[in-house]
Structure 1
């Protein structure tokens, strides 16, 4: 058996190498949503890291596909165009202290609880829904695209939020 002949025959030709280089040059960021990473203080960051470890691998039937840039403060489920995006350590939303919301006079925002976690739910102009935890030591924001099952998302996240983010006033 001529070892060198077989080894030479197994080498890919120049066109194959060119295709492999072109494909490997594609950024993996193309396959993930992009999101701004929050910058909370040290205590909230630690809670958010705990949440990242407790989050489910699947949410509302979608596999976890974290957004770019990768961070323990963000998570995502589903394809980039219709991803459910979680950001931990965000600022308190202005509507959380708006008396219109508390009185039920704001049609774009409402408060409620799901499985022991309080949320502010805000309908956005693009049809998505932004949900932010209330009465927790760190604010967790979840953006759910139009047409997704908001209640299923909240049920799917409740155990993780309760485990990782204690009740109380945010840092």
Structure 2
């Protein structure tokens, strides 16, 4: 009965019904998520990371996720800009050069935070993603992150 009812719906309604079933990935908003400089970053984010991680829905402002719950790369715009760090690395990409402070957690999680940009952008990559993906996809975020002007670089 449900299958017959769905077959009678116009295609646009089917897409809307299917999208409504897509899970929302929980990502906490950053302290400065309401910063207007985050809007162009969010609009320029890619739909796919690492070739097969599709963008997913999130419920918090200035956040994004790619993948599935528990195995998703997450992004938050509006985190507190970090100070200088020996863990700062420049990543060159077609979208521009972005300086990232790269931290590896004891649990295998990688955290990338832009350096020299205010507001800062933070990307978290769980071990479930790094098990079969390189973190080199961070370069794919350069174009979006570059919407926040750099005021300092790694030294």
TM-score range, shorter chain: 0.7 to 0.9
Alignment correspondent of 1:150: 135
Provide the rounded CA distance (Å) in 1 between the counterparts of 2:57 and 2:149.
24
- Aligned pairs (5 A) from 1:29-44: 31-40=23-32
5+ residue gaps, structure 2, are: 3-16
RMSD between superposed Cα atoms in Å: 2.5
Q: Give the total of aligned pairs.
A: 128
Alpha-carbon contact 1:129-1:144 (below 8 Å) kept:
yes
Alignment correspondent of 1:17: none
Larger radius of gyration: 1
Provide the rounded CA distance (Å) in 1 between the counterparts of 2:60 and 2:145.
20
Q: Deviations over 1:90-139 (max 9, x none)?
A: 1134xx44xxx43xxxxxxx210112100000001221100000011211
The 1:64–1:41 alpha-carbon spacing in structure 2 relative to 1, beyond 3 Å, is closer
1:85 corresponds, among 74, 84, 103, to: 74
- How far apart are 1:41 and its partner, in Å? 7.4
**Could you tell me the TM-score, scaled by structure 2's length?**
0.72
Deviating beyond 3 angstroms after TM superposition, the runs of 4 or more aligned structure 1 residues are none
Alpha-carbon contact 1:114-1:155 (below 8 Å) kept:
yes
**Could you tell me the TM-score, scaled by structure 1's length?**
0.66
5+ residue gaps, structure 1, are: 1-11, 14-23, 103-109
1:60 corresponds, among 50, 71, 75, to: 50
- How far apart are 1:33 and its partner, in Å? 2.0
Alpha-carbon contact 1:66-1:74 (below 8 Å) kept:
no
Name the structure where strand makes up a greater proportion of residues: 2
- How far apart are 1:140 and its partner, in Å? 0.3
Alpha-carbon contact 1:120-1:134 (below 8 Å) kept:
yes
Q: Secondary structure at the match of 1:37?
A: coil
2:151 equivalent to 1:168: yes
